[in-house]
Structure 1
């Protein structure tokens, strides 16, 4: 039996996250171009196929779509009103609570989620929490959408979403910072900057793919390298004895507090 099709509208579909989700959804085949709507201030498709629908008017988007994805800056949330209680509304706006989403949508058929620009490569991780008006059929739709963009889990506690906001959003930046430090180390010791950049990019890519495959946890990978007792183990012992774990927790706490203050 063929899966049910639906129309999807992305409010903020020209932004970094909204555009990444739009491209990921199209590439996955979960939605056809003529079943996708983009709403933005300019009313443009943002380089998406010509069959994609575009509008400046959120009410037009709400009237045309079965599912509405909210991907506008959190600061814009207070002025946003859809009056779409019969639509499934999914928000990826950081820090915008379920109560505020219900006010925006005009009803409890809302989902609060997190996603990331990795959706463009269908590598995002998207945890989500369902509102009181979300039926089992809706949850199936939410799962299909986010599985098309990467991996997903349903959470039962909205408060946990603030923690995942701190993990989902900053991790690419944190990884980039570690890569920056390592490339700088190589450059300071005479390695050509272009070679250092290329090496670090490839090494981080390989590490991410290796960690994503199989059943081994990050802890398993670290312990395996320590048990091997080679050059990596020598460096890992220094890192484990350093303040980095506490500093990482402090950085994540700062991200959580920022999420809750939005």
Structure 2
């Protein structure tokens, strides 16, 4: 069983992934955490070993997961030429990660704090230097966090940083708009909020369990020709899809900019 260490393991994303790994029994021994404060943060009291020295973690572990703010990438202080290095730092490229750590086996990934509840969607890109065992290990690590896929193109990581990294992010904005619709028409705010929370809970579970996907659910409602069909017809004819794409493009571009800023800062 590989020894796993998380640099930045007491942060929101690092600790969420750590919690998922511990819940899944991975690794069998203590999970290593490197943090500037020398504390475990949300993972305090769990089977973790904490150090302030990221290089100490790198020398003790087989797999090093980097989860620090991208602006801090150049100051990680990890030399790990013979280790498997995985990064969930937004915008920091595969090539940059290899240069920072000296590692030949590098994975660039994106997950989310929903990992703590086993509900994250994680994507990753490993390039051509990973072994079959490396790929199996990375797949298992992210499977502990929720659903996961390997991508063939690194540039797509930024798209998922925009779409699935910010939980609840864009989905929360849609929920807020629907809640506002109700309250502006006189529905008491607590009732509107409770209704919208339950709606999105039910919708998420329905989408997750339907093999046909979102488009099929939308079309089924349109074909039914009821009240929802009337609303969906207006939305599909309007600017909503284009506005959403514009917002996601802005978020993806910001992810790329964060990675570029890490280059400048060093």
| Aligned-partner Cα distance in 2 for 1:114–1:47 | 20
Displacement of 1:160: 1.7
Which structure ranks higher in relative contact order (CA pairs < 8 Å, sequence separation ≥ 6)? 2
TM-score, normalised with respect to structure 1: 0.94
Q: Secondary structure of the equivalent of 1:76?
A: helix
Give the structure 2 partner of residue 41 of structure 1.
36
Structure 2 residue runs without a partner (length 5+): 259-266
Q: Which residue in 1 is equivalent to 2:24? A: 28
Return closer, same or farther for 1:218/1:171 CA change in 2, 3 Å cut-off: farther
Distance 1:101 1:216 in 2: 38
> Displacement of 1:104 after TM fit?
1.8
Q: How does 1:180-199 map to 2 (within 5 A)?
A: 180-199=176-195
* Aligned-residue CA RMSD (Å): 1.4
Alignment of 1:214-229 (within 5 A): 214-229=210-225
The TM-score normalised by the length of structure 2 is 0.92
Q: Secondary structure at the match of 1:248?
A: helix
Partner SS state of residue 156, structure 1: coil
Which of 122-131 and 202-211 deviates more? 122-131
Q: Which residue of 2 aligns with 1:257?
A: 253
- Give CA-to-partner distance per residue, 1:83-125, whole Å, 9 cap, x none: 1111111000010011110012212211000101110111111
Contact 1:162-1:260 within 8 A present in 2 as well: yes
Tell me the residue number matched to 1:95: 91
Q: Give the CA deviation at 1:170.
A: 4.1
Number of aligned residues: 257
Q: For the residues of structure 1 that align with 2:159 and 2:200, how far apart are their CA atoms? A: 24
What is the alpha-carbon distance in structure 2 between the residues aligned to residue 79 and residue 104 of structure 1? 9
Aligned to 2:203: 207
Contact 1:107–1:133 under 8 Å retained in 2:
no
Alignment of 1:86-125 (within 5 A): 86-125=82-121
Q: In the TM superposition, what is the alpha-carbon distance from 1:78 to its structure 2 partner?
A: 1.7
- 8 A contact 2:5–2:34 mirrored in 1: yes
Give the Cα–Cα distance (whole angstroms) in 1 for the partners of residues 147 and 73 of structure 2.
26
Pairing partner for 1:235 from 208, 231, 238 = 231
Q: 1:150 aligns with which of 146, 152, 156?
A: 146
Q: Which runs of 5+ in 1 are unaligned?
A: none
Q: Pick from 7, 13, 17 the counterpart of residue 17 of structure 1.
A: 13
Separation of aligned partners in 1, 2:6 and 2:153: 25
Q: Which residue of 2 aligns with 1:244?
A: 240
